[in-house]
Structure 1
Amino acid sequence: MTIQNATTTPMSMQLMTGAVDRLATQETTIQGEVSSGVLSDSYAGLGDQRYAALSLQPQITEVAAWTSNITSAQNTLSVTQTAMSRITTIATNLQTSLTSLAGTTSASTVTAVALQARQDLTQLASLLNTQSGTEYVFAGNDSTSAPVADPSTIASGTFFQTVAASVATVGTNGAATTEAATVTAASDNGPSASVFSASLSTDATSASALGRSLTVGNQQHVGVGLVATAGGAASATSTGSPIRDLMRALAVVGSLDQADSSSTGFTTLVQDTTTQMTAVSAGLGLEVTSLGQTQNNLTSQTASLGEMSDALVKQLGAVKDSDPASLSTQLTATQNQLQASYSLIADMKGMSLAAYL
Structure 2
Amino acid sequence: MDALSRLNADAALLRARMDILSRQASSGRKTDRLGDLPHEAPQLVNLTNDMARREVYGRAIDQGTTSITVTQASLQRLKDIASAFRSEVAMRLDAKDPAALAVFQERARVAAVEVGNLLNTQVSGEYLFGGSDLTHPPVPNPQALMSSGMATSIATAIGGLNNSNASAVAAATLTAAQNTTAGNSPFSAFLEDPAGGANEARRSVPAADHQLVAYGVPANRNAVAQSMGETTGSWARDLLRGLFSVAALGPAQAQFGQGFGDLATRLREGFASAESALSEEMGALGNVARHLESTKTRHQDISDILQRQITAITDVDMATTLTQLQGTRTALEASYRVTSSLGELTLSKFLR
Q: Amino acid of the residue matched to residue 99 of structure 1?
A: M
Using the TM superposition, name which of 237-246 and 64-73 deviates more.
237-246
Q: Amino acid of the residue matched to residue 125 of structure 2?
A: T
Aligned to 1:338: 332
CA contact (8 A) 1:171 1:259 kept: no
Aligned to 1:100: 92
Unaligned runs of 5+ in 2: none
- Within-5 A mapping of 1:276-287: 276-287=270-281
1:257 maps to which of 234, 247, 250: 250
Using the TM superposition, name which of 263-272 and 27-36 deviates more.
263-272
Task: State the distance in 2 between where 1:29 and 1:84 align.
Answer: 61
3-state SS of 1:210 partner: coil
**1:310 positional shift:** 0.8
**1:173 positional shift:** 8.2
- Within-5 A mapping of 1:138-217: 138-171=129-162, 174-202=165-193, 207=198, 209-217=200-208
Unaligned runs of 5+ in 1: 1-9
Aligned to 2:101: 110
**1:356 positional shift:** 2.8
CA contact (8 A) 1:183 1:236 kept: no
Q: Amino acid of the residue matched to residue 186 of structure 1?
A: A
3-state SS of 1:47 partner: coil
CA contact (8 A) 1:167 1:259 kept: no
**1:177-225 Cα distance to aligned partner (Å, 9 max, x none):** 322322222222223222112221157xx74643110111232222234
3-state SS of 1:260 partner: helix
- Please give the TM-score of this superposition, normalised by the length of structure 1: 0.90
How many correspondences in the alignment? 345
The answer to whether 1:11 aligns with 2:2 is yes
Q: Amino acid of the residue matched to residue 89 of structure 1?
A: D
Using the TM superposition, name which of 332-341 and 37-46 deviates more.
37-46
Task: State the distance in 2 between where 1:14 and 1:258 align.
Answer: 115
2:219 maps to which of 214, 228, 235: 228
Query: CA 1:15–1:153 in structure 2 vs 1: closer, same or farther (change >3 Å)?
Result: same
Q: Amino acid of the residue matched to residue 94 of structure 1?
A: F
Task: State the distance in 2 between where 1:259 and 1:26 align.
Answer: 99
CA contact (8 A) 2:95 2:261 kept: no
The answer to whether 1:248 aligns with 2:244 is no
3-state SS of 1:170 partner: coil
CA contact (8 A) 2:238 2:273 kept: no
Using the TM superposition, name which of 162-171 and 228-237 deviates more.
228-237
Query: CA 1:255–1:90 in structure 2 vs 1: closer, same or farther (change >3 Å)?
Result: same
CA contact (8 A) 2:231 2:273 kept: no
CA contact (8 A) 1:135 1:143 kept: yes
Task: State the distance in 1 between where 2:320 and 2:226 align.
Answer: 70
The answer to whether 1:326 aligns with 2:320 is yes
CA RMSD of the aligned region, Å?
2.2
CA contact (8 A) 1:81 1:291 kept: yes
3-state SS of 1:221 partner: strand
- Please give the TM-score of this superposition, normalised by the length of structure 2: 0.91
CA contact (8 A) 1:163 1:181 kept: yes
CA contact (8 A) 1:77 1:291 kept: yes
**1:261-300 Cα distance to aligned partner (Å, 9 max, x none):** 1223322211111122222211111001111111222222
Q: Amino acid of the residue matched to residue 332 of structure 1?
A: Q
Query: CA 1:166–1:173 in structure 2 vs 1: closer, same or farther (change >3 Å)?
Result: farther
